[in-house]
Each structure stands twice: as structure tokens, then as C-alpha cells.
Amino acid sequence: MKRRVVITGAGMITPLATGTEKSWKSLLEGRSAVRKITHFNPDGLPCQIAAEVPDFEIDRFIELKEQKKMDRFIHFGLAAATLAMEDSGLKVTKENATGIGVIVGAGIGGLSAIEHYNQTLLEKGPKRVSPFFIPMTIINLTSGQISIRFGVKGPNSAVATACATGTHSIGDAFKLIQHGTADAMICGGTEAVITPLGIAGFTSMKALSTRNDEPEKASRPFDRDRDGFVMGEGAGIVVLEEMENALNRGARIYAEIIGYGLNSDAYHITSPAPDGEGAARCMVSALKDAGIRPEEVDYINAHGTSTKYGDEIETTAIKKVFDRHAYSLCVSSTKSMIGHLLGASGGVEAAICALSVYNGIVPPTINLETPDPECDLDYVPHKARPLDINIAMSNSFGFGGTNACILLRKFSRS
């Protein structure tokens, strides 16, 4: 028998706020977090806007001497994990430590440290490069730091699958618990690449919006006038537990994870397959893993990046999988408010789905003023919508054609 897996904690560091409760409230209010870039002077770049975390109080989470050993993406991941563990109430003991693990990934990793120390090397020589440079930048050090912080000695891994990272991390953790390899997992994604090189690189690909004069309206998934995604930063971490253990300790349960799908388009290094074939297969795989029918799904948190082809292809894929029921679904993109957090997006969006199921409300897609005729589903425009959600789906699709999908269900003991 496969063990049942539930979500008992959520930690979010988003461009709307530090903290799950504040972020959730702002999402339901339909606020945009997109502004002109302040991390550096963006003048001269075609894209000068991003969704930066505005109020991150690092001293609340990490001692000063430890801060200097970590890149910003690790700061975010460690902070979000701390919030998730506090939220879950899960206590690590000598007896349970080996059954608790960590899978937290990033799409790119320590880009700001790489840029900084490359300049240091060129200007001041190799002796001025920090001995912590490598641990600052490599992707698995977020998982490592979380493991050290909480003393958890179970599986310790990291995923790096571009924009699908957070969802793959949670899906992989789900399977470890389901099959008995672990009893609880701290999992999700983190990212912090709003840097000169990061913005320049994505701009060169013509992937980013250049709506610099109206930043709050730049991220507009499914809208006819979208011109690219908006870079975001932050982290989303959830705590998963085997159901009986969670119930025995009296944990609050947000939702149950019931299905996970992952596959590849095998088509292009950055573009999704034009017919949505890979994304559709991924959603079908998650449905089969959960043992449910398409018409049982109530809400989809879409990948919905605000790119021309991405939004249309995801819509096509949803219609392939759900047929007529696609028009009865609520489908929204919270990237319309917080931008695209790359490797962190799936972690944040899984937490949002769990909160949506638990609270019975769907966050909106803002800036959907002139719908693209090819995007003809119910994208919950402008305002959050109360909805009794039994089953929710979260989609993530990444560069390299990598796809991930998880399914969450309202928790019931039976």
C-alpha cells in the first residue's frame, strides 16, 4: 500500500512580502509586485523592471557571520524553510531525524556571487576570492544549509530543472514519503537572479517584458498584449508528512498530495512543443498517478508566464486533457502578480494551491484586459473567487522541455 502524504507547513518569500500570510493576503487582493529594478542601475537595458522581494529582513533568519557564506538564493531558501517548519510545528528529535529529509532546488543558483567574485578576480586577483565562493553558488547548498539548520538526516538532494524545479522537488519528495524512504520532507524551490547578467541574458533571448513605463501591468498572462515574462525572486517551501504521523501529532493539514507527473517535450532548448503534447502528457500522467478523472479537477494554477507561445500552448494542452471540462475549470496565473520566480515558482505555486484548497478561494489573474482569442478559458480575471476546491493542479514547464505537474486534494481521513 502506498502511504498517504499531506502538506502541514508552508513558507513563502515572495515579491509581495516576506511571509506566507502576508503574501497570501496580497495575492487575494490582486496586487502587482512589479517595479523598476533597484538591485542595480538598469539604465541601458531594454528591460528595466522586475519583481524584487521588498522587505526581506535577513537578520531575522540568519546570523551575520553565516550570511556571508551564502548567496541570496540560499538566504531565501533557508528563510522560507524556517517559516515552513514553524508553520508545520514539526519538531526534529534524535529519534525522527533520520526520517526527515530535504529537497530544495534552484534553476540557476548563485548568479549574484558568480558575478561579484568574477569582478573581484579580475580587479584584485585570486587571493581576494572568498573561500566560501563555491558553497555560496552551488545549487544543493540550500538543501545542505536547511539540513544543517534543522538537524535532519534523511534524504538530502537538490533539483535543477529550470522553471520546473520547485514542482519536481515537491513531486520527488512526495514519492520518497509515499514509498517509505522518508517520513517527512522539507521541499520546494528558491531563486535570486535579478542581476545585470541575469536580466541581460533573458533580455537577449527576447523572453522578458519591456513594458518599462507601466511595470505593474507588465505581467499579463493570457492577455493579447503580453510581451514577455517579468523576472521575480524568492522561495516557496512546503513541509510534507506521512499522513498518520501528521495526524498522530495533531498537525494542521492544508491538503493532501495525490499525484505527480513528469516528462519531456524532447523538442527544443527553450520553446515548448507547439501542440502542447508534452504538457498534456504530463498532466495525464499526474491524473493517472492519482487515480482520478479529469472532470474531478476544480482549479489549475497555470504555469502562465505571460509569453506569447507559452500561454497559448498551455491553454491548448489543458483543452486536450480536459476536453469540455476545460471550460468549467478555474485556471489562474499568480505570476501575473509576482512575476516568474524561475526555480522557485513551483514551490510558491504549490503553497498557493494548498492554501486555495484549504481556504476555498482562487487567486486571480490580474492585467487580463484584452484576452487572447487563442486563450479562451476561465482565467479568473482581476478578482479572487470563492470556490469549493476538492482537487487542484499545479503546472510547471521549464527550458529543455522539462515538465512537472502535481495534484492536491482537500484533506479527508477517509
How many H-runs (helices) and E-runs (strands) does the chain carry? 13, 14
Question: 303, 330, 353, 375: which one is catalytic?
Answer: 303
Q: Which letter, b or e, does each residue of 143-165 get, where b requires 16 or more Cβ atoms within 10 Å of its Cβ?
A: bbbbbebbebbbbbbbbbbbbbb
Report angle CA 277, 281, 282 to the nearest 5 degrees.
120
CB-count exposure of residue 64 (10 Å: 0-12, 13-18, 19+):
exposed
Cα gap 43→86, rounded to integer Å:
41
Report angle CA 391, 396, 400 to the nearest 5 degrees.
150
Beta carbons within 10 angstroms of residue 68's beta carbon: 11
Taking Cα atoms as reference points, which of 234, 223, 182 lies closest to residue 351?
234
Beta carbons within 10 angstroms of residue 200's beta carbon: 15
The type of residue at 153 is K
Q: Judge whether 75 counts as a catalytic residue.
A: no
**Phi and psi at residue 229, in whole multiples of 5°?**
-90, 165
Q: Judge whether 303 counts as a catalytic residue.
A: yes
Question: 340, 353, 375, 405: which one is catalytic?
Answer: 340
CA distance between the termini of the chain? 15
List of E strands, 168-285: 184-191, 234-242, 255-264
Question: 163, 282, 353, 405: which one is catalytic?
Answer: 163
DSSP conformation class of 92: P
Name the grid cell of 313: 500552448
Name residues whose C-beta falls within 8 Å of residue 336's C-beta, 6 or more positions apart in sequence.
32, 219, 220, 221, 304, 306, 364, 365, 366, 367, 368
Grid-cell match 511595470, residue found: 215
What are the catalytic residues?
Answer: 163, 303, 340
